[in-house]
């Protein structure tokens, strides 16, 4: 399975990618929403996108809206991984088309639980 990790923090990209690779994912990284769209435009279509909210150039909410506006990317599951913890922001993200929402700080267990809920925990990944 493939996952695209979009975060302007290099550290956070490495952490989230490392967790997903530990579950058996093949990952790519992007530093903001526009870079993430470039990856999809290039034909690398992942099952999962983990995207931060606050980023330069194109933020996570704009990215979610752009992905949802393209029928070719309908199969992509989007999980927001962000320090935005206001209830209103969570509602906005889900209304825009995100499937799940993880608030930073998170643990690998929290990511694993969300993937299990989404049916995106690869076979063989420890429960």
Residue choice 47, 77, 106, 118 for contact with other proteins (CB under 8 A): 106
Window of 40-48, 71-79, 84-92, 116-124 that interacts with other proteins by CB under 8 A: 84-92
Residue choice 88, 119, 123, 127 for contact with other proteins (CB under 8 A): 88
Residue choice 41, 54, 116, 117 for contact with other proteins (CB under 8 A): 54
- What are the tokens at 5? 């990790």
Burial 33-45 (b: 16+ CB within 10 A, else e): bbbbbebbeeeee
Residue choice 5, 6, 50, 55 for contact with other proteins (CB under 8 A): 55
- Binding flag, residue 24, other proteins (CB under 8 A): no
For residues 87 and 10, give the distance between their C-alpha atoms in angstroms, rounded to a whole number: 26
- What are the tokens at 120? 């995106």
> Minimum distance between the CB of residue 61 and other proteins, rounded to whole angstroms?
12
With CA atoms as reference, report the closest residue to 99 among 83, 119, 85, 121.
119
- Binding flag, residue 10, other proteins (CB under 8 A): yes
* CB atoms closer than 10 angstroms to residue 97: 16
Footprint of other proteins (CB under 8 A): 8-12, 14-15, 17-18, 54-56, 82-86, 88, 103-107
């Amino acid at each position: 399975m493939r996952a695209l990790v979009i975060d302007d923090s290099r550290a956070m990209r490495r952490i989230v990618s490392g967790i997903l690779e530990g579950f058996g994912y093949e990952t790519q990284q992007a530093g903001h929403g526009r870079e993430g769209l470039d990856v999809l435009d290039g034909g690398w279509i992942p099952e999962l996108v983990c995207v931060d909210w606050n980023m330069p150039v194109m933020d996570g909410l704009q990215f979610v809206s752009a992905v949802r506006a393209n029928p070719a990317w309908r199969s992509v599951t989007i999980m927001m991984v962000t320090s935005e913890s206001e209830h209103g922001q969570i509602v906005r993200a889900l209304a825009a088309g995100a499937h799940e929402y993880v608030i930073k700080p998170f643990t690998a267990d929290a990511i694993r639980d969300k993937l299990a809920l989404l049916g995106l925990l690869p076979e063989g990944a420890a429960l």
